[in-house]
Amino acid sequence: MALEIRTLPCLSDNYVYLLHDAASGETAVIDVPDAAAVEAGLKAEGWTLNQILLTHHHYDHIDGVAALNAANKLAIIGHDADAKRLPKLSSALNEGDQVSIGQEAGEVIEVSGHTIGHIAYHFPASKALFSGDSLMVMGCGRLFEGSAEQMWASLSKLMALPPETRVYSGHEYTAANAKFALSIEPENKALIERVKQISEARARGEDTMGSTLAQEMATNPFLRAGLPQVKALVGMEGAPDAAVFAEIRERKDNF
């Protein structure tokens, strides 16, 4: 049975995710910007929290950990390389390690670029990827600490996951990301249709999380930096993929 996933908005544009295994009753949360939002979500579902899975050290992903843990005494899991910048960890993991929620195992993937030591969690049976601020829906995170080469390598790992994998990222930036994507590929028919769908969803007050990796690879300019047609559109025919990615990232920074 796949994990039940609940998307909880908090702060101005953050998301946290509750992951629940119905058979065991175990529940985890991905990142904790705000403890109250998590507690309200748990109460609404009638779930008991067991563990916190952290993606990276930025305050808008960890600020609620202390308050949440004080009430619940939870297992706190994060990347060993980032342990000094995270709340005190119960388990410090590395790429290739696994986490478990009930009977489902999740894979830890290092995705440095936005920060050094950023990790994502992939749950194959539930076809779900929790990517924090690495791969965003229709975008990717700014390069605050890592290089373009590091981020391109990280995104390439994620592109190798099954195409039906659903992407759950840390922020609701999708509409702005989609507008930028059109500046790179204005004639991409799949992108034009997706921009329309995103606009309609946001007008209804819906979140835009859970797009498939296949959709991202067809419309997200940061995942398309290796394609000849995209290289041509940015005037970099024949350039290395990572260099084209760097150009697209710089354009987004100044968009």
| SS3 per residue for the chain | CCCEEEEEEECCCEEEEEEECCCCCCEEEECCCCHHHHHHHHHHHCCCCCEEECCCCCHHHHCCHHHHHHHHCCEEEEEHHHHHHCCCCCEEECCCCEEEECCEEEEEEECCCCCCCCEEEEECCCCEEEEECCEECCEECCCCCCCHHHHHHHHHHHHCCCCCCEEEECECCHHHHHHHHHHHCCCCHHHHHHHHHHHHHHHCCCCCCCEEHHHHHHHCHHHCCCCHHHHHHCCCCCCCHHHHHHHHHHHHHCC
For the entire predicted model, the pTM comes to 0.96
Q: What is the pLDDT of residues 142-199, one digit of tens each?
A: 999 999 999 999 999 999 999 999 999 999 999 999 999 999 999 999 999 999 999 9
Residues designated catalytic: 56, 58, 60-61, 114, 133, 171
pLDDT band at 130 (very low <50, low <70, confident <90, very high): very high
User: Residue 179 — φ and ψ, nearest 5°?
Assistant: -60, -45
Q: Is the pLDDT of residue 43 over 90?
A: yes
Q: What is the pLDDT of residues 99-114, one digit of tens each?
A: 999 999 999 999 999 9
Task: Give the residue among 78, 77, 56, 52 at the shortest CA–CA distance from 65.
Answer: 52
Which CATH number goes with the domain that contains 109? Answer: 3.60.15.10
Token representation of residue 44: 């609404």
pLDDT band at 72 (very low <50, low <70, confident <90, very high): confident
- Domain tally, the chain: 1
Q: Kindly state the average pLDDT of the residues 134-146.
A: 97
pLDDT for 140: 97
Q: What is the pLDDT of residues 19-42, one digit of tens each?
A: 999 999 999 999 999 999 999 999
Residues of the domain holding 91 = 4-253
Average pLDDT score over the chain: 96
